[in-house]
Amino acid sequence: MAQVIIEDQYQTIIRRTWDTWGRTIVLGAVVGLTYWVLTTLIGHYIVEPIACKSVTNAAACSNATPLAGNIAAVLVAALAVIGMVRLGIARPIIIAVGAGALLWDLGGWTLGLFWLEAIAWSVALYAIVFALFGWITRYATLLTSLIISLLIVLIIRIALVL
């Protein structure tokens, strides 16, 4: 007669290799570069021609880059989910939504920077945020990952306002 042995049925942390976490960080860096490229393209070819066509809309014209950054954040979050699914990274929506929520106003933060410096900040911040949420999503229960991610987003967003 065969004996069935069940080991640690209620594991609280999903075992991840350093390879998976490294792929998450590298994907975050690629997403950061894609964010900057999309922000620049959307800003120059879509938002600025619409917002800056008359002199009376000076406030809307000065807000063109942050608006383009917000549009690009949504687009790169969708692309990041597709990339994470292809790479086999667990809970890609939590990582993408968390990164989008934390870096929502990145276009405004990098507005006056030299283009190389803006790229560096975009790549670094997206890589760090993907690393953070990639580490948080290793918890086995979805509810735990969601609650911790939500708390992290709230704490950091409140700290950015202060």
Q: Is residue 13 in a domain?
A: no
Q: Could you tell me the pTM of the whole model?
A: 0.86
| Residue 27, domain member (yes or no) | yes
Confirm whether 3 is domain-assigned: no
Residue 7 lies in a domain: no
Q: Which domain holds residue 82?
A: 18-161
Asked whether the beta carbons of 161 and 153 are under 8 A apart, the reply is: no
Q: Measure Cα distances from 151 to 15, 20, 104, 115, 154 in Å.
A: 23, 24, 16, 33, 5
Give the chain's domain count: 1
Residue pLDDT, tens place only, 28-71:
999 999 999 999 999 999 988 887 777 666 777 778 889 999 99
Task: Write the pLDDT tens digit of every residue in 87-137.
Answer: 888 899 999 999 999 999 999 999 889 999 999 999 999 999 999 999 998
The pLDDT > 90 percentage for the chain reads 60
